[in-house]
Amino acid sequence: MTESTVAGATDVAVLNDLPARTLTRPELRELVSAIADDPAVWQQHVAYDDEHRHYVCLHRDANVDVWVLCWTPSNDTGWHDHDVSSGAVAVADGEVTEHNLVIGSAALEVRVPAGHSFSFGPDHIHRMTGVAEGSVSIHAYSPPLWRMGQYAISTTGVLRRTSVSYADELRPIDEPFPDDQERLRDAALHP
Ligand SMILES: [Fe+2]
Protein backbone atom coordinates (compact mmCIF):
# COMPACT_ATOMS: atom_id res chain seq x y z
CA MET A 1 0.00 0.00 0.00
CA THR A 2 1.43 3.37 -0.89
CA GLU A 3 -1.24 5.60 0.59
CA SER A 4 -4.03 4.84 3.01
CA THR A 5 -5.17 8.07 4.60
CA VAL A 6 -8.66 9.29 3.98
CA ALA A 7 -8.55 11.97 1.31
CA GLY A 8 -9.35 15.52 2.43
CA ALA A 9 -12.83 16.73 3.24
CA THR A 10 -15.11 15.72 0.43
CA ASP A 11 -17.27 18.06 -1.55
CA VAL A 12 -18.69 15.25 -3.63
CA ALA A 13 -22.47 15.54 -3.64
CA VAL A 14 -23.08 11.80 -3.78
CA LEU A 15 -20.91 11.32 -0.67
CA ASN A 16 -22.65 14.08 1.25
CA ASP A 17 -26.07 12.59 0.67
CA LEU A 18 -25.62 9.02 1.89
CA PRO A 19 -28.31 7.25 3.94
CA ALA A 20 -27.42 6.88 7.63
CA ARG A 21 -27.63 3.09 7.52
CA THR A 22 -26.02 0.10 5.84
CA LEU A 23 -26.25 0.49 2.07
CA THR A 24 -27.77 -2.18 -0.18
CA ARG A 25 -25.89 -3.71 -3.08
CA PRO A 26 -27.81 -1.62 -5.67
CA GLU A 27 -27.05 1.52 -3.65
CA LEU A 28 -23.36 0.64 -3.46
CA ARG A 29 -23.27 0.02 -7.21
CA GLU A 30 -24.99 3.32 -7.89
CA LEU A 31 -22.51 5.08 -5.61
CA VAL A 32 -19.35 3.68 -7.20
CA SER A 33 -20.72 4.25 -10.71
CA ALA A 34 -21.49 7.90 -9.94
CA ILE A 35 -17.96 8.45 -8.61
CA ALA A 36 -16.33 6.56 -11.49
CA ASP A 37 -18.18 8.83 -13.91
CA ASP A 38 -16.68 11.93 -12.25
CA PRO A 39 -12.86 11.91 -12.75
CA ALA A 40 -12.56 15.20 -10.84
CA VAL A 41 -13.24 13.17 -7.67
CA TRP A 42 -10.53 10.55 -8.11
CA GLN A 43 -8.04 11.69 -10.74
CA GLN A 44 -5.76 13.52 -8.29
CA HIS A 45 -5.32 10.28 -6.30
CA VAL A 46 -4.14 8.15 -9.21
CA ALA A 47 -0.65 6.65 -9.06
CA TYR A 48 0.77 3.28 -10.06
CA ASP A 49 3.16 0.82 -8.48
CA ASP A 50 3.88 -2.70 -9.76
CA GLU A 51 5.11 -3.87 -6.34
CA HIS A 52 2.54 -2.38 -3.97
CA ARG A 53 -0.94 -1.62 -5.19
CA HIS A 54 -1.79 2.06 -4.89
CA TYR A 55 -5.14 2.91 -3.30
CA VAL A 56 -6.66 5.83 -1.45
CA CYS A 57 -9.69 6.02 0.84
CA LEU A 58 -12.02 8.71 -0.52
CA HIS A 59 -14.58 8.46 2.25
CA ARG A 60 -15.24 6.53 5.44
CA ASP A 61 -18.10 6.83 7.91
CA ALA A 62 -20.01 4.47 10.18
CA ASN A 63 -21.90 2.90 7.25
CA VAL A 64 -19.71 2.90 4.17
CA ASP A 65 -16.15 3.33 2.93
CA VAL A 66 -15.18 4.33 -0.60
CA TRP A 67 -11.81 3.75 -2.24
CA VAL A 68 -10.01 4.51 -5.47
CA LEU A 69 -7.73 1.66 -6.57
CA CYS A 70 -5.08 1.91 -9.28
CA TRP A 71 -3.96 -1.10 -11.29
CA THR A 72 -1.07 -2.25 -13.41
CA PRO A 73 -1.05 -5.74 -14.99
CA SER A 74 1.31 -6.82 -12.16
CA ASN A 75 -1.15 -5.94 -9.38
CA ASP A 76 -3.01 -8.85 -7.77
CA THR A 77 -5.10 -8.90 -4.58
CA GLY A 78 -4.91 -12.65 -4.09
CA TRP A 79 -8.01 -14.55 -2.96
CA HIS A 80 -9.99 -12.73 -0.30
CA ASP A 81 -13.39 -12.05 1.23
CA HIS A 82 -14.80 -8.90 2.80
CA ASP A 83 -15.96 -10.45 6.09
CA VAL A 84 -19.44 -9.00 6.88
CA SER A 85 -19.42 -6.30 4.17
CA SER A 86 -21.21 -6.13 0.86
CA GLY A 87 -19.35 -4.27 -1.87
CA ALA A 88 -19.46 -2.81 -5.35
CA VAL A 89 -16.79 -2.04 -7.94
CA ALA A 90 -17.00 0.35 -10.90
CA VAL A 91 -14.12 0.50 -13.38
CA ALA A 92 -13.35 4.13 -14.15
CA ASP A 93 -10.44 3.69 -16.54
CA GLY A 94 -8.75 0.76 -18.29
CA GLU A 95 -9.77 -2.79 -17.41
CA VAL A 96 -9.51 -5.24 -14.49
CA THR A 97 -10.26 -8.95 -14.11
CA GLU A 98 -12.41 -10.44 -11.36
CA HIS A 99 -11.54 -14.08 -10.60
CA ASN A 100 -13.97 -16.44 -8.87
CA LEU A 101 -12.60 -19.49 -7.12
CA VAL A 102 -13.89 -22.85 -8.40
CA ILE A 103 -13.04 -25.99 -6.48
CA GLY A 104 -11.57 -28.67 -8.72
CA SER A 105 -11.14 -26.60 -11.87
CA ALA A 106 -9.72 -23.36 -13.14
CA ALA A 107 -11.03 -20.11 -11.71
CA LEU A 108 -13.74 -18.23 -13.56
CA GLU A 109 -12.40 -14.95 -14.93
CA VAL A 110 -14.53 -11.97 -15.87
CA ARG A 111 -12.96 -8.95 -17.50
CA VAL A 112 -14.51 -5.69 -16.41
CA PRO A 113 -13.75 -2.72 -18.68
CA ALA A 114 -14.22 0.99 -17.94
CA GLY A 115 -17.88 1.93 -17.68
CA HIS A 116 -18.91 -1.39 -16.13
CA SER A 117 -19.62 -2.30 -12.50
CA PHE A 118 -20.59 -5.23 -10.29
CA SER A 119 -21.61 -5.85 -6.70
CA PHE A 120 -21.34 -8.72 -4.23
CA GLY A 121 -22.45 -9.81 -0.79
CA PRO A 122 -20.48 -10.86 2.28
CA ASP A 123 -20.51 -14.45 0.97
CA HIS A 124 -18.33 -13.51 -2.00
CA ILE A 125 -14.73 -14.72 -2.39
CA HIS A 126 -12.75 -13.25 -5.26
CA ARG A 127 -9.42 -12.05 -6.53
CA MET A 128 -8.80 -8.97 -8.63
CA THR A 129 -5.98 -8.26 -11.04
CA GLY A 130 -5.14 -5.41 -13.38
CA VAL A 131 -5.40 -5.97 -17.12
CA ALA A 132 -4.54 -2.69 -18.82
CA GLU A 133 -1.77 -0.31 -17.75
CA GLY A 134 -3.24 2.71 -16.03
CA SER A 135 -6.49 1.15 -14.83
CA VAL A 136 -8.60 2.73 -12.08
CA SER A 137 -11.56 1.30 -10.15
CA ILE A 138 -13.85 2.72 -7.48
CA HIS A 139 -14.87 0.41 -4.61
CA ALA A 140 -17.43 0.87 -1.83
CA TYR A 141 -18.20 -1.41 1.12
CA SER A 142 -21.05 -1.43 3.61
CA PRO A 143 -20.69 -1.87 6.51
CA PRO A 144 -17.23 -0.36 6.04
CA LEU A 145 -14.34 -2.82 5.84
CA TRP A 146 -12.73 -3.70 9.12
CA ARG A 147 -11.48 -7.27 8.92
CA MET A 148 -11.05 -9.25 5.69
CA GLY A 149 -10.21 -12.87 4.90
CA GLN A 150 -7.08 -13.54 2.83
CA TYR A 151 -6.88 -17.07 1.39
CA ALA A 152 -3.89 -19.20 0.61
CA ILE A 153 -3.92 -22.37 -1.47
CA SER A 154 -1.05 -24.66 -0.52
CA THR A 155 0.83 -26.90 -2.92
CA THR A 156 -1.41 -29.78 -1.80
CA GLY A 157 -4.54 -27.77 -2.62
CA VAL A 158 -5.53 -27.06 0.95
CA LEU A 159 -7.37 -23.74 1.32
CA ARG A 160 -6.76 -21.64 4.41
CA ARG A 161 -8.16 -18.31 5.55
CA THR A 162 -6.20 -15.65 7.39
CA SER A 163 -7.99 -12.69 8.99
CA VAL A 164 -6.32 -9.41 8.02
CA SER A 165 -7.03 -5.74 8.70
CA TYR A 166 -8.61 -3.59 6.01
CA ALA A 167 -5.48 -1.43 6.34
CA ASP A 168 -3.26 -4.32 5.20
CA GLU A 169 -2.48 -4.62 1.51
CA LEU A 170 -4.15 -7.71 0.10
CA ARG A 171 -1.69 -9.77 -1.94
CA PRO A 172 -1.32 -13.37 -3.06
CA ILE A 173 -0.13 -15.67 -0.29
CA ASP A 174 -0.34 -18.96 -2.19
CA GLU A 175 2.71 -20.54 -0.64
CA PRO A 176 3.22 -24.01 0.75
CA PHE A 177 2.54 -24.24 4.45
CA PRO A 178 5.47 -25.72 6.33
CA ASP A 179 3.27 -28.20 8.18
CA ASP A 180 1.54 -29.61 5.08
CA GLN A 181 3.76 -32.62 4.74
CA GLU A 182 3.36 -33.26 8.45
CA ARG A 183 -0.42 -33.16 8.08
CA LEU A 184 -0.31 -35.53 5.11
CA ARG A 185 1.85 -37.94 7.04
CA ASP A 186 -0.49 -37.78 10.02
CA ALA A 187 -3.47 -38.42 7.75
CA ALA A 188 -1.75 -41.47 6.30
CA LEU A 189 -0.92 -42.81 9.74
CA HIS A 190 -4.37 -42.13 11.14
CA PRO A 191 -6.90 -42.53 8.33
FE1 LIG B 1 -12.39 -7.53 -2.96
What proportion of the chain, given as a percentage, has pLDDT over 70? 85
Distance 110 CA to ligand 1 centre (A): 14
Task: Find the range with the poorest average confidence among 4-13, 80-89, 139-148, 151-160.
Answer: 4-13
User: What single DSSP character describes residue 10?
Assistant: P
Pick from 22, 29, 15, 76: nearest CA to 51 = 76
Q: Which amino acid is at 157?
A: G
Distance 35 CA to ligand 1 centre (A): 18
Is 126 among the annotated ligand-binding positions?
Answer: yes
Q: Residue 134 — pLDDT band, cuts 50, 70, 90?
A: very high
Q: Positive or negative CA dihedral for 18, 19, 21, 26?
A: negative
Q: Which amino acid is at 127?
A: R
Mean pLDDT of 75-100: 97
**Phi and psi for 36 in degrees, rounded to 5?**
-60, -35
Helix (H, G, I), strand (E, B) or coil at 67: strand
On the question of pLDDT at 161 being above 80, the answer is yes
Mean pLDDT over all residues of the chain?
Answer: 88
Instruction: Work out the burial of residue 63: count CB atoms within 10 Å of its CB; fewer than 13 is exposed, 13-18 middle, 19 or more buried.
Output: middle
Distance 182 CA to ligand 1 centre (A): 32
Is 80 among the annotated ligand-binding positions?
Answer: yes
Other beta carbons within 10 angstroms of residue 85's beta carbon come to 24
On the question of pLDDT at 109 being above 90, the answer is yes
The residue among 162 and 156 whose pLDDT is bigger is 162
Distance 178 CA to ligand 1 centre (A): 27
Cβ atoms of 59 and 83 within 8 Å: the answer is no
Mean pLDDT of 16-42: 96
Distance 170 CA to ligand 1 centre (A): 9
Residue 27 CA to residue 45 CA, distance in Å, equals: 24
Q: What is the pLDDT of residue 80?
A: 96
Mean pLDDT of 51-75: 96
Distance 126 CA to ligand 1 centre (A): 6
Instruction: Work out the burial of residue 171: count CB atoms within 10 Å of its CB; fewer than 13 is exposed, 13-18 middle, 19 or more buried.
Output: middle
Q: What is the pLDDT of residue 155?
A: 82
Is 82 among the annotated ligand-binding positions?
Answer: yes
